[in-house]
Amino acid sequence: MGSIPITRSNPVSGDPSMNKVIITGAGAIGLMSARQLAMAGYPVTVVERGEPGRESSWAGGGIVSPLYPWRYPDAVNQLADYSQQRYPALAMMLKETTGIDPELLESGMLLLDDPEPEIDAWSERWNHPVEYLDGAAAIAAVQPGLNSDYSRATWLPDLMQLRNPRLLAALLADVGQRPQITLTAHAQVQSIALDNGRAVGVETDKGRIEGDIVLICAGAWSSGLLPESALSARRVEPVKGQMIQFQTAPGMLARMVMRDSRYLIPRKDGLILAGSTLEHTGFEKQTDQQALEQLRDFAIDVVPALRDAPIVNHWAGLRPGTDTGIPLIGPHPEIDNLFINAGHFRNGIVIGLASVRLGIDLILGNPPIFDPEPYQIAGNH
Ligand SMILES: Cc1cc2nc3c(=O)[nH]c(=O)nc-3n(C[C@H](O)[C@H](O)[C@H](O)COP(=O)(O)OP(=O)(O)OC[C@H]3O[C@@H](n4cnc5c(N)ncnc54)[C@H](O)[C@@H]3O)c2cc1C
């Protein structure tokens, strides 16, 4: 691991219970951060503008892998790798303690695009098996019912998925069981309360909430919360994604399937998600007929039997996009006691667990799991 260029002083000291952390945003990142801080003995208040757990983290597909992971830098893949190793334990623990099963499934992924030369190096480096399938029969042996025009595929058998609304419900139930955590919903953070260049709480539409440390986990909205004086941070911008959902009989599709950045994700109960669009349209979350038809055409092209399946849901979410896809994790370069964990773009679930651990290490002054340099907030990337 390289040198660790943390220039700001560690804000926590002494008895953890005397250091209150305010987290802005109850998405996957905010809720997992609250959980970890509470486990370390810190009192936490999570402030959420709307319904907790109903934005991007709810809207996502839950693929526990970046799409085409070999196209990403190590800074993303090392977070993915760390998380992939720990999601089975987290899912099991949440199921035991809350009774809600996040439905983590090792359904694997079939890739119908032409194989890219970088796959083998990625497979070796991160220890994921890969099989190249030649001929429709070889593909059908892994997943029957696909369009037989596809005669080559790359099979990634150990890639997992989980069911976002269930993960969020389980995290909310877990957080609700922890007396150190207060979840204040329907309160919008309007600004960070500052005293002499130091964060001392948040101003909300319901009044000020004071704390010793402020952690911004507001997803696509995170940059808007930074004081103007501190906008030299890398920006997080909304990138809309639409998804549709088919109802089918359970078992019709067992594998995730992807082509041309579009994917199908089969859930245990027969629901199949088809996603997703990538739209730069600001903070609006409207769905539209054109996207529905494009996603439906893609789905039917890959699995012809979906022509007869009803579409039972269509939604949009706002990904927290960044220029590089590398999230912003760590202390704000200009404001003491202000931390950010945001900008996970298309990978907030798969890299979220590791991002949260790294972010908490940096708040608590623990040896960080990874060199935090690639994730630093300053706008010099
Ligand atoms: C269509 C789609 C498909 C995706 N598929 C995948 C996938 O398969 N795998 C994967 O790993 N990732 C996927 N993602 C990305 C992933 O969902 C996100 O990166 C991740 O959910 C971000 O989590 P978050 O907690 O930062 O943001 P969010 O879940 O958006 O949470 C941020 C929270 O902050 C709150 N907030 C904002 N402003 C304020 C304020 N001023 N005051 C108080 N609260 C505020 C919001 O209301 C929200 O609840 C997908 C995303 C989309 C949209």
Q: How many CA atoms lie within 13 A of 199 on its CB side?
A: 34
Question: E strand or H helix at 247, and its extent?
Answer: strand 237-247
Give per-residue pLDDT as tens, 84-126.
999 999 999 999 999 999 999 999 999 999 999 999 999 999 9
Residue 231, pLDDT above cutoff 70: no
Question: Which pLDDT does position 4 carry in this prediction?
Answer: 41
Question: Which pLDDT does position 2 carry in this prediction?
Answer: 36
Residues 229, 255: one domain? no
Whose Cα sits closest to atom 1 in ligand 1? 241
Residues 271, 148: one domain? yes
| 118 domain-assigned | yes
What is the arithmetic mean of pLDDT over 329-357? 96
21-24/44-47 β-pairing? parallel
**Distance between CA 337 and CA 359 in Å, rounded?**
13
| 252 domain-assigned | yes
313 vs 9 pLDDT, higher one: 313
| 125 domain-assigned | yes
Residues 193, 303: one domain? no
Residues 172, 47: one domain? yes
Q: State which ligand 1 atom lies nearest to the alpha carbon of 31.
A: 25
Q: What is the number of structural domains in the chain?
A: 2
| 347 domain-assigned | yes
The answer, yes or no, to whether any atom of ligand 1 lies below 6 A from the CB of 341, is no
Give per-residue pLDDT as tens, 266-324.
999 999 999 999 999 999 999 999 999 999 999 999 999 999 999 999 999 999 999 89
Residues 172, 314: one domain? no
Residue 214, pLDDT above cutoff 60: yes
165: left (phi over 0), alpha (psi -120 to 50) or beta: alpha
Mutate to test the pocket of ligand 1, among 31, 55, 186 (most ligand atoms within 8 A of CB): 55
The domain in which residue 28 lies consists of 16-59+166-236+323-375
Question: Which pLDDT does position 227 carry in this prediction?
Answer: 74
The answer, yes or no, to whether any atom of ligand 1 lies below 6 A from the CB of 48, is yes
Question: Which pLDDT does position 13 carry in this prediction?
Answer: 73
Alpha helix ranges (H) inside the chain = 28-39, 56-59, 74-98, 119-126, 136-142, 164-176, 289-302, 352-364
Question: Which pLDDT does position 147 carry in this prediction?
Answer: 96
**Distance between CA 35 and CA 56 in Å, rounded?**
19
Record the tokens describing residue 135, joined without a space: 């001929």
Residues 118, 221: one domain? no
What is the arithmetic mean of pLDDT over 225-254? 88
| Residue 328 near residue 233 (C-beta atoms within 8 A) | yes
**Distance between CA 329 and CA 7 in Å, rounded?**
14
CA 319 to centroid of ligand 1, rounded, Å: 6
**Distance between CA 128 and CA 136 in Å, rounded?**
23
Residues 295, 223: one domain? no
For 179, other C-beta atoms within 10 Å of its C-beta total 8
Residues 269, 221: one domain? no
| 84 domain-assigned | no
Give per-residue pLDDT as tens, 22-81.
999 999 999 999 999 999 999 999 999 999 999 999 999 999 999 999 999 999 999 999
| 265 domain-assigned | yes
Residues 178, 317: one domain? no
Tokens 């609006």 belong to which residue?
Answer: 284
Residue 236, pLDDT above cutoff 80: yes
| 302 domain-assigned | yes
Tokens 């000020």 belong to which residue?
Answer: 208
Q: State which ligand 1 atom lies nearest to the alpha carbon of 53.
A: 49
CA 32 to centroid of ligand 1, rounded, Å: 13
Question: E strand or H helix at 246, and its extent?
Answer: strand 237-247
CA 359 to centroid of ligand 1, rounded, Å: 17
Whose Cα sits closest to atom 4 in ligand 1? 60
Question: Which pLDDT does position 8 carry in this prediction?
Answer: 53
Sheet order of strands, 21-24 included? 181-184, 44-47, 21-24, 213-216, 338-342, 328-331
Residues 242, 294: one domain? yes
Residues 183, 308: one domain? no
Q: Is 315 exposed, middle or buried (0-12, 13-18, 19+ CB in 10 A)?
A: middle
The answer, yes or no, to whether any atom of ligand 1 lies below 6 A from the CB of 217, is yes
CA 27 to centroid of ligand 1, rounded, Å: 6
Residues 147, 272: one domain? yes
CA 83 to centroid of ligand 1, rounded, Å: 17
**pTM, full prediction:** 0.96
CA 308 to centroid of ligand 1, rounded, Å: 32
The answer, yes or no, to whether any atom of ligand 1 lies below 6 A from the CB of 219, is yes
Mutate to test the pocket of ligand 1, among 225, 281, 349 (most ligand atoms within 8 A of CB): 349
Mutate to test the pocket of ligand 1, among 48, 49, 56, 215 (most ligand atoms within 8 A of CB): 56
The answer, yes or no, to whether any atom of ligand 1 lies below 6 A from the CB of 67, is no
Quote the DSSP letter at residue 368. P
Whose Cα sits closest to atom 2 in ligand 1? 60
Whose Cα sits closest to atom 12 in ligand 1? 347
Whose Cα sits closest to atom 10 in ligand 1? 347
CATH number for the domain spanning 364: value is 3.50.50.60
